[in-house]
Amino acid sequence: GQNIDQPTEMTATEGAIVQINCTYQTSGFNGLFWYQQHAGEAPTFLSYNVLDGLEEKGRFSSFLSRSKGYSYLLLKELQMKDSASYLCAVRDRVDYKLSFGAGTTVTVRA
């Protein structure tokens, strides 16, 4: 199985940068996902890392180090609409199940 840890809450100012860290322990790794979830809505896919390195998609970037069991999601030029819960999830190599962290609630303030 997987053991996934991420901070519970983060607060930042509009226009700033925030980095959400995620550490994991897994018996079989097949990719790490980041999702954004607004209250009352389903998660929205942000990024998928299966190899080490940085994946950049506009204002959002995700980094993975498999040897360290570590990933981060970087949110740049924060906007008020970025206030949401960010979920780190690790997929199992054998059964493709996704295990989720508890989520990090990001609050963006003006």
Tell me how far apart the alpha carbons of residues 19 and 65 are, in angstroms, rounded to a whole number: 15
* CB 26, min distance to another protein, A: 15
55-94 binders of another protein (CB under 8 A): 87, 91
Q: Is 10 in the site for another protein (CB under 8 A)?
A: no
Let me know how long the chain is: 110
Which range binds another protein by CB under 8 A, 14-22, 29-37, 57-65, 71-79? 29-37
Exactly one of 5, 41, 52, 77 binds another protein (CB under 8 A); that residue is 41
Of the ranges 8-16, 37-45, 52-60, 63-71, which one interacts with another protein (CB under 8 A)?
A: 37-45
DSSP E strands in the chain: the ranges are 2-5, 9-13, 18-26, 29-37, 44-49, 53-57, 60-65, 70-75, 84-92, 98-100, 104-109
The backbone region for 60, taken as left when phi is positive above 0, alpha when psi lies in -120 to 50, beta otherwise, is beta
Q: Which stretch binds another protein (CB under 8 A): 12-20, 54-62, 64-72, 101-109?
A: 101-109
Q: How far is the CB of 98 from another protein (least distance, A)?
A: 6
> 70-75 and 53-57: which strand pairing?
unpaired
Q: Which is closer to another protein, CB of 8 or CB of 25? A: 8
